[in-house]
Amino acid sequence: KKAFKELDTYLQELLDETLDPNRPKQETESFIDLLMQIYKDQPFSIKFTHENVKAMILDIVVPGTDTAAAVVVWAMTYLIKYPEAMKKAQDEVRSVIGDKGYVSEEDIPNLPYLKAVIKE
């Protein structure tokens, strides 16, 4: 319950920020800007509410995180099934990151084998 309440609060703040008349004009409109314009115009025969806007934002955001998680699960499954591929990916990662202990975004261009595994 607490997580949903925090998420709802965050989404409401996002909507309020988008509707703020003092907000600097953006060069390009976001998906949220478009939804809020529909909210303001009310072009439908049924009322389009803040709750509808929040639901549409979640419809876009949540499946994206689920898809990313599914990619990781399948990549790990593949690597478990093919230990030689796992070893090659591990060696590549270790050689690129060294003693740093984590992969950063700057490291990604230097990890072609790992990128190929994820794409596969």
pLDDT digits (tens, 9 = 90+) for 5-44: 888 898 889 888 888 888 888 777 788 888 888 888 888 8
Enclosing domain of residue 86: 82-120
Report if residue 35 sits inside a domain: yes
Q: Within this chain, do residues 88 and 61 fall inside the same structural domain, yes or no?
A: no
**Nearest-CA neighbor of 39 among 22, 14, 13, 19?**
19
Q: Which two tokens stand for residue 110?
A: 């230097």
**Number of domains into which the chain is organized:** 2
CB 32 within 8 A of CB 10: no
Percent of the chain predicted with pLDDT > 70? 97
Q: Within this chain, do residues 44 and 19 fall inside the same structural domain, yes or no?
A: yes
User: Model pTM?
Assistant: 0.46
Distance CA 93, CA 90 (A): 5
Query: Dihedral of the CA atoms 105, 111, 117, 120 (nearest 10)?
Result: 80
